[in-house]
Amino acid sequence: MAFEVREKDLLGRVGKLETKSGFVETPVLLPVINPRIQPIKPSEMKELFGCQALITNAYIVQRNLRQSAVEREIHRLLDYDGVVMTDSGAYQILVYGDVQVDPNEIVSFQEQINTDIATILDVPTGWRVSKEYADETVKETLRRARRLWKIKTREDVLWVGPVQGGQYLELVAKSARKMGALPFHIHALGSPTAVMEQYFFDVLVDMVMAAKRNLPVERPLHLFGAGHPIMFSLAVAMGCDLFDSAAYALFAREDRYMTENGTAKLSELKYLPCSCPVCVKNSPESLLQKPKKERQQFLTEHNLYVSFAELRRIKQAILEGRLWEHLEMRAHTHPSLLRALKRLKKYEDYFEENSPVTKTSGLFFFDSVGLVRPEAVRHRKRMEEYYSPPADAQILVLLPQTDGKPFHKSREWRGALSKMYQALGERFSAVHVCFYAAPFGVVPVELDEVYPLSQHEVVVPLNDEAIVYVAEQVATYIASTNYKQVVLLEDHEIWGKEIERACGQVCRKKGVIFISLVRDRMADKVLAERILSVLKLDE
């Protein structure tokens, strides 16, 4: 059994998971199937939606269809020849407080019914419980996890090791470390349902990241109950590879219509904002006139179409290196998601360390939320840790970013810089040109064409937070260098006076000569002469 990562962006990955029933491409959505209630047959799911895998509850199967499940095995019982994952009944513990099955017995039963991916009977932590209780759920789940390797009999079943701890992040981290030390094939974050139902997506970020940073990176991570496409991109960006969903059917029972941007009541819609096969043939009015069972069937199919379509968009975004842009777009559909996106700043170093260094596409920087993205964080860290200006540089000339890239070849600066270097002659090495630009801060001219410094587009005017960030990066850079003079060419139209304030403050503190010039639409020759006129070069 193996998990192979083929493409990456942020912590998201397109991968290939091998099971005894075939390969599954991740990230993958596993619709929850109740064998006794099937608004859409599992065989139809594969045909209609390209469903690669599904999940059913081994405890419910055992309680209601035990003999038939053992005799026919789970694939024939469900009439599905794809990959089948089974949960163990832990959700029933969360809801009802207990289940009438022994942890060893449910392990054996999952092997008997020939499931592809099985789950131990963990003890879910739940939400709003005491830390003492949460700690006990972690310990008991670990006891059961360690027992698995003594009682299981098959080597062709993939086993899931759940991580517990709930809202107590130190317990989640502890659970992940200890569970990760055991030879599980897949891990899962337990107890996230209540968090997602209440739209506490920022709390979900903390829980997922506490687990992700302490689990073996080569193992897939399953997020239980992540059923709504509105948050798939957030979960994938954090490194979740598998999801299960009953929401597609539960929402349909309540006449709720899923979209990738949220959920609507069917009665509140004038139009169906979707072009899936079932939507193009109907209208909200015609659907409301149908019998409840027919309407539920329609909504179930639509909700699955929307869910699978969103996962395909996410995979394509990973391949194109645009998962951040997709995530940012989805985050603006709900304040709770945007709050969660901003929470990623807490983990920006981990994202930077585990994200691709280069991509086949440029970046789109919309506003200050993008300051957290790995490319911006990576440039800042490398400037602070590794970069030194040229040894002969005495004077720093700071120029504002331009629409054209690379900056030094842009229409605005190409002629002026050429004329300035010509006039300086042999003394040009004493003058070091850098650009100040969002979202990177300081861009030295010699790095101007290095990815992604010339492969990005920025929305102007910039918001205040982005301007302050760049000003801080410029000030940090000046503070760490030994220039004798700093010449700033201001662009008040985009930057206001924040760059001048930050540069002036740090130069006064260091005793560095500081001269500020205001940029206007002067000719190249005049601009070059103006900069040259204030340079104070050593003879």
Q: How far apart are CA 209 and CA 315, in angstroms?
A: 21
Give the model confidence (pLDDT) of 455-475 as tens digits. Answer: 999 998 999 999 999 999 999
Res. 407: pLDDT tops 90: yes
Task: Check if the beta carbon of residue 311 is closer than 8 Å to that of residue 230.
Answer: no
CATH number, domain with residue 254: 3.20.20.105
Confidence label for 94 from pLDDT (cuts 50, 70 and 90): low
End-to-end CA distance of the chain: 71
- The length of the chain is 539
Confidence label for 522 from pLDDT (cuts 50, 70 and 90): low
Mean pLDDT of the chain: 93
8 in a structural domain = yes
Kindly report whether the global pTM for this prediction surpasses the value 0.85.
Answer: yes
348 in a structural domain = no
Res. 7: pLDDT tops 60: yes
Give the model confidence (pLDDT) of 140-177 as tens digits. Answer: 999 999 999 999 999 999 999 999 999 999 999 999 99
pLDDT above 90 covers what percent of the chain? Answer: 82
Give the dihedral of Cα atoms 406, 412, 418, 421; nearest 10 deg. Answer: -90
Domain that holds residue 283: 3-333
In this structure, are 316 and 368 located in the same domain? no
Confidence label for 389 from pLDDT (cuts 50, 70 and 90): very high
122 an active-site residue?
no
Q: Considering its fold, how many domains does the chain have in total?
A: 2
Cα 536 to its chain centre, rounded Å, is 49
Give the model confidence (pLDDT) of 98-108 as tens digits. Answer: 677 889 999 99
In this structure, are 174 and 27 located in the same domain? yes
Confidence label for 190 from pLDDT (cuts 50, 70 and 90): confident
Give the model confidence (pLDDT) of 279-311 as tens digits. Answer: 999 999 999 999 999 999 999 999 999 999 999
140 in a structural domain = yes
In this structure, are 190 and 329 located in the same domain? yes
Expressed in percent and rounded to 5, the helix, strand and coil fractions of the chain are 50, 20, 35
- DSSP H or E run through 4: strand 3-9
Give the model confidence (pLDDT) of 15-59 as tens digits. Answer: 999 999 999 999 999 999 988 888 899 999 988 999 999 999 999
| Long-range contacts of residues 255-260, Cβ cutoff 8 Å, at least 24 apart | 255/295, 255/299, 256/299, 257/299, 257/302, 257/303, 258/228, 258/229, 258/302, 258/303, 258/306, 258/307, 259/229, 259/306, 260/229, 260/230, 260/306, 260/309, 260/310, 260/313, 260/330
Q: Which of 9, 87, 206, 491 is the catalytic position? A: 87
- DSSP H or E run through 84: strand 83-87
pLDDT at 35: 85
In this structure, are 458 and 501 located in the same domain? yes
Pairwise pLDDT comparison (53 vs 531), residue with the higher score: 53
Provide CB contacts within 8 A for 44, sequence distance 6+.
none
In this structure, are 17 and 100 located in the same domain? yes
SS3 110: helix
Q: How far apart are CA 28 and CA 55, in angstroms?
A: 11
* DSSP conformation class of 348: H
Token pair listed for 539: 């003879």
108 in a structural domain = yes
Task: Check if the beta carbon of residue 451 is closer than 8 Å to that of residue 362.
Answer: no
Provide CB contacts within 8 A for 361, sequence distance 6+.
320, 321, 322, 455
The DSSP annotation for 121-187 comes to ------SS--HHHHHHHHHHHHHHHHHHHHH---SSSEEEEEE--TT-HHHHHHHHHHHHTS--SEE
Give the dihedral of Cα atoms 500, 504, 506, 510; nearest 10 deg. Answer: 150
Res. 66: pLDDT tops 80: yes
In this structure, are 148 and 268 located in the same domain? yes
Confidence label for 369 from pLDDT (cuts 50, 70 and 90): very high
In this structure, are 164 and 310 located in the same domain? yes
